[in-house]
Structure 1
Amino acid sequence: MTITLRPGTIVMFTGDSITDPQRLESRDGRRFGYPLRIADEWALRHPDRAVTWLNSGLAGSKVRDLESRWQADVLDVRPDVVSILAGINDVGWRTLDPNGYPISAQDYAAGYDRLLAPLAEAGTELILIEPFLLPIRGVVQKRDVRIDEAVRKEWRADLDLKIQVVHQLAADYGAHLLAADEMFAKLSATTEPEYWAEDGVHPTPAGHAALAEAWLRLVA
């Protein structure tokens, strides 16, 4: 089944830097990421069904960071639909930050569950997007850290556990699941993964377009 977006529906996107590609530096607050692409494509397809699109994504966020802002950023807005993409910062990516560290799959699950519970109680439609890591090759330099195949292998193993959590929560809450990691794996099998995300994490414009197209298939 798909989610029906009726006139006046409020949709909230939230998550980390993938949902927040410099949105606070732009006039409309959304800039070039998949939420903006979704809103623009919806407006083109459905001029008779105006939807309010909101974005509370913030770069660097872990699930615990979303939880600390959840009341003000999400619950107080009373959205009809909430779309969440969070998890890559809970894996190895944030070990590049001296203040960051990965959390266990159990803690990730518990925190994510606390985000979803009040929304489910309010009858909010939920879209959970898998965190993802593309199989890029070679070395990426981030600050003073060298990210090579060995590092990505460790992240991949941890991320797979987080993805399992998202699948279980989607089943538990009857949420719509966007299998982004699976989607990008398939795309990377036919086109080099760097085309979709140069560093394996942050999508290129083409990667954001792919996310937007997949998201729109979940709504009607």
Structure 2
Amino acid sequence: MFKRIPLFFTWALSLLSLAMTQDQTIKVVLFGDSITQAGVQPGGYITKMKEALEKQGIKDKYQLIGAGIGGNKVYDLYLRLEEDVLAQKPNVVVIYVGVNDVWHKTSLQTGTDPDKFERFYVALIKKFQTNGIKVICCTPAVIGERTDHSNQQDGDLNRYSGMIRDIAAKYDCPVADLRKEFLAYNLKNNPQNKESGILTTDRVHLNDAGNQLVADLLLKMIVR
């Protein structure tokens, strides 16, 4: 009896095969909220990724498509996945969501409870994998940059990030752990314990350094 090949190895082999085909463009949809919506603007993380690909001389091998809408939560992504992702027929999708699911629980009382977040997130992954799309998961980075765990939503962000890591492990998806990387960066570069201005403009949305950090991390995961 043949053993089932783990999805991660299927993902890796498939992406490697695509990368080795000179005339094959790898299409990547970056799927998220206002952070991703801003990512296609000058200085945004998607724009920075495109610029880096051009500098490396491989811009024609990758097509990056931003699919972010401000205010979106995980169930908003699920409701628009057909038109904004599947219709694009991508090879890879990056799921970058979770900030509003946490943030809006206190700011607007319209956040997403953990059990519902998990169900919708799993449904997204299953839908993409069923359609042969490779999935990269991102943990939500910050809602406030203080490093002493005094940001109001730190507890929930850690919880939801942990859920994403667990889901990703279960479904063999690589993780861009922005929650971990942003905290590490702030521990080194935020000695005054500021709540914004290090990687964000307003505690949530990315400044130039934040966009660069996200761009660098995702490029390492996409370019093979």
Stretches of structure 2 that go unaligned for 5 or more consecutive residues are: 1-8
Rate the CA distance shift 1:30–1:197 in 2: closer, same or farther, 3 A: closer
What is the letter of the counterpart of residue 106 of structure 1?
D
Instruction: Give matches, 1:50-129, under 5 Å.
Output: 50-93=61-104, 95-97=106-108, 101-129=110-138
Matched, 1:196 2:199: yes
Partner of 2:6: none
Whole-Å separation in 2 of the counterparts to 1:201 and 1:69? 23
Q: Label 1:122 to 1:157 Cα distance change in 2 as closer, same or farther (>3 A).
A: same
Letter in 1 for 2:207: T
TM norm structure 1: 0.82
**Percent identity of equivalent pairs:** 24
State the SS of the aligned residue for 2:204.
coil
Structure 1 residue 33 corresponds to structure 2 residue 44 = yes
Q: For residue 179 of structure 2, what is the amino acid of its counterpart?
A: D
Distance 2:189 2:75 in 1: 35
Which of 155, 158, 171 is matched with 1:157 structurally? 155
Cα separation, 2, equivalents of 1:94 and 1:82: 26
| Alignment correspondent of 1:175 | 173
CA distance in 1, matches of 2:218, 2:31: 14
Counterparts in 2 of 1:173 and 1:77: CA distance versus 1, 3 Å? same
Offset of residue 123 of structure 1: 2.2
**Partners in 1 of 2:119 and 2:203 — Cα distance?**
27
Does the C-alpha gap of structure 1 residues 108 and 169 become closer, same or farther in structure 2, counting only changes over 3 Å?
A: same
Match status 1:130 vs 2:139 = yes
SS of 1:83's partner is strand
CA contact (8 A) 2:29 2:90 kept: yes
Partner of 2:35: 18
Q: CA RMSD in A?
A: 2.2
Q: Is the 8 A contact 1:30 1:55 kept in 2?
A: no
Higher relative contact order (CA 8 A, sep 6+): 1
- Code of the aligned partner of 1:199: D
Amino acid at match of 1:89: N
Task: Encode CA deviations 1:59-112: one digit per residue, 9 max, x unaligned.
Answer: 110001111111111112111000111001001346434xx5122111001011
Cα shift at 1:30: 4.3
Q: Which amino acid aligns with 1:133?
A: V
- Larger mean Cα displacement after TM superposition, 117-126 or 180-189: 117-126
Q: Which TM-score applies when normalising by structure 2? A: 0.80
Residues 8/195 of structure 1: CA separation in 2 closer, same or farther (3 Å cut): same
1:18–1:59 Cα contact (<8 Å) kept:
yes
Matches within 5 A, 1:139-154: 152-153=151-152
Point out the structure with the larger helix share.
2
Mark the CA change 1:44 to 1:177 in structure 2 (over 3 Å): closer, same or farther: same
| Amino acid corresponding to residue 216 of structure 1 in structure 2 | L
Q: Please list every run of 5 or more consecutive structure 1 residues that lacks an aligned counterpart in the other structure.
A: 24-28, 138-148
